[in-house]
Structure 1
Amino acid sequence: MTDNDFAPGRRCRKGRPSMTPEQQALTDELSRRAAQLWAEADGELSIAEAVELAAFQISAKTAQNATEPRSES
């Protein structure tokens, strides 16, 4: 691993409340997307900026899905 490689660390949640499965899935998705964005940015984004961008992308996707009309069967 080089100095610029980012890999999410082990989950150390000692002493913290447990997350719901939905919260854990969202956390995992955010971590995965942020790491991918950061790696693809080739030094142009900090990890904090990559996390912020990934969170924005997830929230935009969620908002779009919530506003799409439902097909009635």
Structure 2
Amino acid sequence: MNSQEAVEDILSPLPELATTEEVADLMRVKQQTVLKWTKDHGLKCITVGARVRRFRKKDLREFLLNSDEAGE
């Protein structure tokens, strides 16, 4: 499990509803990687229409806190 303090530090600049671009920039990955996390690794998002996604800070927190457990 990742450190809750570290996760909070990472997420602090994000708004409560973040765009795919904001999440990708914050995590220093491509937007396609964030979308893959939603499809293959359980990152929850809110979908509006076919292309608009928003990520709640609480869902990102949960994802980051538990993201290393899948590899164990």
**TM-score, normalised via structure 2 length:** 0.31
Answer 1 or 2: which has greater strand percent. Answer: 2
Answer 1 or 2: which has greater helix percent. Answer: 1
Find the structure with the greater CA-based Rg. 1
**TM-score, normalised via structure 1 length:** 0.30
Q: Using CA pairs below 8 Å that are at least 6 residues apart, which structure has the higher relative contact order? A: 2
